[in-house]
């Protein structure tokens, strides 16, 4: 008998597979034209609400601006790596510049309830569904 051991590598593998499975998702397709603009985003569902996560290493909290209108979220800002003066560059791979991306969700968002965090180079935007978009439970007579 094999005892199932919970192992963190399993959890990571499961997450990676789950993320892969929605790689081809057409969930946002009719509304968001810009698949693949900076920053790349992952959208998750958490109950009725949505969470958008983007990797923005090197972008400080005060360099990002988030705006929400109806069903759209706009992420804009600057990524500017700092080089000291008087340096000899050996390798330069990190990108820099400005970004401005709008992601449209299939439902309207309650703009007042939106919360955003930027930690460890991850930008997370928590977006509750607008009240009138919440599903109503229908009691069967």
Q: Return the residues of window 98-137 that contact other proteins according to CB under 8 A.
A: 98-100, 111-112, 114-116, 118, 120-122
User: Which residues have CB under 8 Å from 38's CB, separation 6+?
Assistant: 95, 99, 101
Which CB atom, from 112 or from 139, has the smaller least distance to other proteins? 112
Cβ atoms 38, 101 nearer than 8 A: yes
Work out whether 31 is an interface residue with other proteins (CB under 8 A).
no
Which CB atom, from 15 or from 134, has the smaller least distance to other proteins? 15
| Residue 61 CB, nearest approach to other proteins (Å) | 8
Work out whether 91 is an interface residue with other proteins (CB under 8 A).
yes
User: Which residues have CB under 8 Å from 56's CB, separation 6+?
Assistant: 39, 64, 77, 79, 118, 121, 122, 123
Work out whether 75 is an interface residue with other proteins (CB under 8 A).
no
Alpha-carbon gap, residue 75 to 23, rounded angstroms: 21
| Residue 141 CB, nearest approach to other proteins (Å) | 32
Work out whether 33 is an interface residue with other proteins (CB under 8 A).
no
Q: Tell me how crowded residue 42 is: count the other CB atoms within 10 A of its CB.
A: 13
Q: Tell me how crowded residue 128 is: count the other CB atoms within 10 A of its CB.
A: 19
Q: Among 3, 5, 6, 25, which residue sits at the site for other proteins (rule: CB under 8 A)?
A: 25
Work out whether 9 is an interface residue with other proteins (CB under 8 A).
yes
SS3 108: coil
Binding to other proteins by CB under 8 A, coded x per residue (else -) over 39-58, reads xxxxxxxx---xx---xxxx
């Amino acid at each position: 008998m094999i005892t199932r051991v919970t192992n963190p590598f399993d959890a990571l593998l499961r997450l990676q597979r789950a993320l892969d499975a929605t790689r081809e998702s057409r969930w946002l397709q009719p509304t968001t034209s810009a698949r693949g603009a900076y920053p790349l985003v992952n959208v998750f569902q958490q109950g009725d609400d949505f969470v958008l996560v983007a990797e923005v290493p090197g972008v400080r909290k005060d360099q990002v601006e988030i705006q929400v209108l109806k069903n759209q979220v706009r992420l804009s800002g600057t990524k500017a790596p700092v080089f000291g003066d008087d340096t000899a560059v050996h390798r330069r791979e990190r990108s820099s510049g400005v970004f401005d991306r709008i992601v449209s969700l299939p439902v309207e968002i309650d703009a007042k309830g939106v919360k955003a965090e930027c930690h460890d180079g991850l930008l997370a935007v928590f977006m509750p569904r607008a009240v009138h978009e919440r599903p109503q439970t229908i009691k069967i007579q």
